[in-house]
């Protein structure tokens, strides 16, 4: 791939060179994307204190390359304002506060006899934070690019993904419709209360089958199209290959931060909920992780080996990475208790330990069960005392306030 953006850092100054001199450094789509990636690296590098932007050749920059717009002579004139909206306004309207920190769990590491770090993706900076923001950064950019004015998505009644979709849509000016399963805690508690505060249009489907939920989403989308709107549909968890790329970015961030802190991470442990976060971490570890293992702790009985492998391969294709995995390559621990969204005794033990030893709050649906799974792996010797483990905190704290103690099993 041709490098239209060159960069170098010296004494805290990053010099960015626009490198398309044959076109007076005018921008095409690839150049925009390369500049966005370069700026993202600058944002995340504490050593960069100044940016210097220059151009190769005899001119600095001639602006947008209008020849790059693929104008159809028989069609309507191109909307040149699209380039302003799509690129020259903030290239990606930053939804997430990145990078999120990596911290050592000093007290729990001492108690369990293993070095354990935590990646604080509960601090992604919108709503109550959480992993879904990284996926939504890509998916909602795609929605805006396609001119969508509505985003439809789904999940359980206490879905973190659905809540964060509503929050992110508010920020970028798109209306959100949340089509949620009827199961789960009802009433003004947890994420349902937050959805109300966000002004989200919440619609319940009285079914436990996502086939029924997706049929309802399609019906609503058809109604919107008939009324002249442009809906954009996001599946449960945002777990499609494009959303998965957000967690490939996270993996790259993890290994860069670990290098800065002189940490060699042997294993990442994460929740497996809809598969996208885990898939991104798996692919990212293969690309950047120098032999790091990734273990997903399942929160339900879905076939995560197959789901995750498919998402890894789809994201690899988007990124042009020469990677292919099979379901047998995906490491899944099933440690979810009575079922999805049903708090477990082991999960609440993990939540209590984290709160009382580290002052951090996990949730009963995802991170509590995932950390309980990590503790199980340590206690059974499947994670050795010489391993350095990183646990991904994916957020979801609001669901803690929707727990009924009598449901704990």
Q: Are 282 and 312 in contact (CB under 8 A)?
A: yes
Q: Are 100 and 63 in contact (CB under 8 A)?
A: no
Q: Residue 327, SS3?
A: helix
CA distance 370 to 335: 8
Question: Which residue in the list 26, 159, 274, 394 is annotated as catalytic?
Answer: 159
Closest by CA position to 402, among listed 185, 196, 198: 185
Output the six-digit token pair for 287.
């690309």
Give the position of tokens 């199209």.
225
CA distance 40 to 268: 23
Strand partners, 10: 13
Render the burial of 259-280: b for 16+ CB within 10 Å, e for the rest. Answer: eeeebebbbbbbbbbbbbbbbb
- Whether 270 is catalytic is no
Q: Are 60 and 47 in contact (CB under 8 A)?
A: no
Output the six-digit token pair for 186.
């009802």
Cα angle 209-154-346, degrees, rounded to a multiple of 5? 75
The catalytic site residues sit at 159
């Amino acid at each position: 791939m041709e490098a239209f953006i060159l960069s170098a850092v010296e004494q805290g100054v990053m010099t960015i060179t626009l490198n398309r001199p044959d076109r007076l450094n005018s921008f095409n789509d690839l150049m925009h994307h390369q500049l966005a990636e370069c700026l993202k690296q600058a944002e995340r590098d504490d050593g960069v204190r100044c940016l210097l932007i220059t151009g190769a050749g005899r001119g600095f920059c001639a602006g947008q390359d209008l020849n790059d717009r693929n104008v159809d002579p028989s069609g309507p004139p191109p909307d040149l304002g699209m380039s302003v909206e799509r690129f020259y306004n903030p290239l990606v309207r930053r939804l997430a506060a990145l990078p999120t920190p990596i911290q050592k769990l000093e007290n729990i590491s001492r108690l369990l006899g293993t070095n354990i770090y935590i990646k604080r993706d509960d601090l992604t900076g919108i709503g109550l934070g959480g992993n879904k923001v990284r996926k939504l950064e890509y998916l909602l950019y795609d929605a805006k690019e396609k001119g969508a004015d509505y985003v439809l998505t789904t999940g359980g009644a206490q879905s973190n993904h659905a809540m964060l979709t509503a929050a992110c849509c508010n920020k970028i000016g798109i209306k959100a419709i949340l089509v949620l399963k009827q199961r789960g805690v009802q009433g003004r508690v947890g994420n349902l209360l937050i959805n109300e505060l966000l002004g989200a249009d919440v619609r319940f489907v009285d079914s436990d089958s996502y086939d029924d939920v997706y049929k309802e989403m399609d019906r609503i989308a058809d109604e919107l199209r008939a009324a002249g709107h442009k809906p954009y549909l996001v599946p449960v968890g945002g777990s499609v290959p494009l959303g998965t790329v957000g967690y490939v970015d996270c993996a790259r961030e993890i290994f860069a931060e670990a290098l800065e802190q002189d940490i060699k991470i042997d294993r990442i442990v994460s929740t497996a909920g809809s598969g996208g976060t885990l898939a991104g971490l798996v692919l990212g570890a293969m690309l950047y992780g120098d032999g790091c293992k990734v273990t997903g702790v399942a929160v339900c009985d879905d076939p995560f080996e197959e789901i995750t492998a498919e998402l890894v391969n789809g994201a690899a294709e988007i990124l042009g990475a020469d990677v292919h995995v099979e379901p047998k390559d995906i490491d899944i621990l099933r440690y979810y208790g009575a079922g999805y969204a049903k708090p477990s005794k082991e999960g609440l033990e993990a939540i209590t330990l984290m709160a009382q030893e580290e002052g951090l709050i996990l949730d009963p649906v995802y991170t509590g069960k995932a950390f309980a799974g990590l503790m199980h792996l340590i206690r059974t010797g499947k994670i050795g005392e010489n391993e350095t483990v990183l646990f991904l905190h994916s957020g979801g704290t609001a669901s803690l306030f929707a727990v009924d103690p009598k449901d704990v099993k």
